[in-house]
């Protein structure tokens, strides 16, 4: 990790790219109640303390993989799935926990506190719930998987935080994008994905476009709210089309579009200083080039110009001077 960081620093990327490593909850010797969370003896001083010192010095997060799925029982299923329940009291802090994820996160926080690293950000590197499993497994089905991941998404983004870490959001990664039909082991290990190996959706947790949602055989997610803003443009299909920002699109959203497209590795040199499309040097102008580059590279489907309702199609070529926009 130190070597990777040094290499990034050598090319001035250390502030943009952080180096960390994920940990299972097996690094804890105790985790219940959450206030007693403690790292395993030996690992705490000789491995984790130097690692945490590195993370603090480089402003990088401590990454953990909390899985309520591996800690639940039939009696605690509601607690694991963020359903209404009576809660669990930590008698040491008198804090009541209404879901298992918060308890797992706070156990890690308590362990960090012992070593003096509560200022290091916690990132959920992976968590999830399977949609199928062996016969007799309670709560292992499509409905429960969609419920866990949907409630997870709402909870970590709500800003509520946890009893010991209030008023926080948590950067979170869902395991997994795809089911792994060739993976060995229990049946549930093959079915953590949001999509099947053939790219068809297993279920939706509110992140899919309506066109993709329609192909789900069963979806527990509520119907999508009506789209706000201008209706999608219906343009003639016999001529070229380009994707440009909508007139009312906010510059912050357009900057995100630029970061997203260029982060995929598409050619953004024309909008970098000295490039043919750098002038005018505005977020809107640069976003126009980047959004169109993405639209053209992905095949020119109307949905590829959506950009969270900030993009619109046009049949008017936006090229100017040496700045040439691809069109199809």
Closest CA to 208 of 228, 188, 190, 222: 222
Cα(100)–Cα(176) distance, integer angstroms: 20
Phi then psi for 141, rounded to 5 degrees?
Answer: -160, 175
Q: Residue 321's CB: how many other CB atoms inside 10 A?
A: 8
- Contact of 216 with 197, CB cutoff 8 Å: no
Residues annotated catalytic, as ranges: 126, 180, 183, 189
Residue 308 phi/psi, 5-degree rounding, is: 55, 45
State how far the Cα of 83 lies from the Cα of 76, in Å rounded to an integer.
10
Distance of CA 265 to the CA centre of its chain: 19
Return the number of other C-beta atoms located less than 10 Å from residue 31's C-beta.
20
Residues 6+ apart with CB under 8 A from 185: none
Q: 226 CB contacts (<8 Å, ≥6 apart)?
A: none
SS3 167: coil
Phi, psi for 227 (deg, rounded to 5): -70, 135
The single residue listed with the structure tokens 């969270």 is 308
């Amino acid at each position: 990790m130190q070597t990777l960081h040094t290499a990034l620093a050598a090319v001035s990327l250390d502030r943009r790219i952080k180096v960390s490593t994920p940990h299972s909850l097996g690094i804890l010797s105790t985790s219940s109640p959450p206030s007693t969370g403690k790292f395993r003896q030996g690992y705490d001083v000789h491995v984790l303390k130097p690692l945490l010192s590195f993370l603090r010095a480089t402003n990088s997060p401590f990454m953990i993989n909390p899985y309520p799925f591996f800690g639940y029982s039939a009696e605690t299923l509601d607690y694991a799935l963020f359903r209404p329940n009576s809660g669990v009291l930590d008698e040491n802090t008198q804090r009541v926990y209404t879901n298992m994820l918060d308890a797992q996160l706070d156990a890690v926080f308590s362990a960090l506190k012992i070593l003096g690293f509560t200022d290091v950000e916690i990132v959920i590197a992976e968590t999830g719930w399977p949609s199928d499993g062996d016969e007799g497994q309670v709560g292992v089905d499509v409905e429960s998987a969609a419920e866990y991941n949907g409630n997870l998404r709402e909870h970590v983004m709500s800003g509520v935080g946890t009893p010991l870490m209030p008023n926080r959001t948590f950067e979170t990664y869902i395991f997994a994008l795809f089911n792994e039909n060739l993976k060995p082991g229990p049946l549930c290990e093959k079915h953590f994905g949001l999509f099947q190996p053939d790219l068809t959706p297993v279920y939706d947790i509110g992140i899919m476009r309506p066109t993709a949602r329609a192909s789900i055989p069963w979806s527990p997610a509520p119907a999508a709210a009506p789209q706000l803003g201008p209706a999608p443009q219906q343009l003639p299909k016999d001529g070229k089309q380009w994707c440009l920002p909508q007139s009312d699109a906010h510059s912050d959203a357009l900057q995100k579009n630029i970061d997203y497209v260029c982060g995929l590795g598409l050619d953004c040199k024309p909008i970098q200083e000295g490039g043919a499309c750098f002038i005018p040097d505005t977020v809107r102008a640069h976003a126009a080039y980047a959004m169109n580059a993405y639209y053209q590279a992905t095949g020119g489907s109307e949905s590829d110009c959506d950009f969270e309702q900030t993009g619109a199609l046009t049949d008017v070529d936006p090229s100017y001077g040496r700045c040439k926009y691809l069109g199809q």
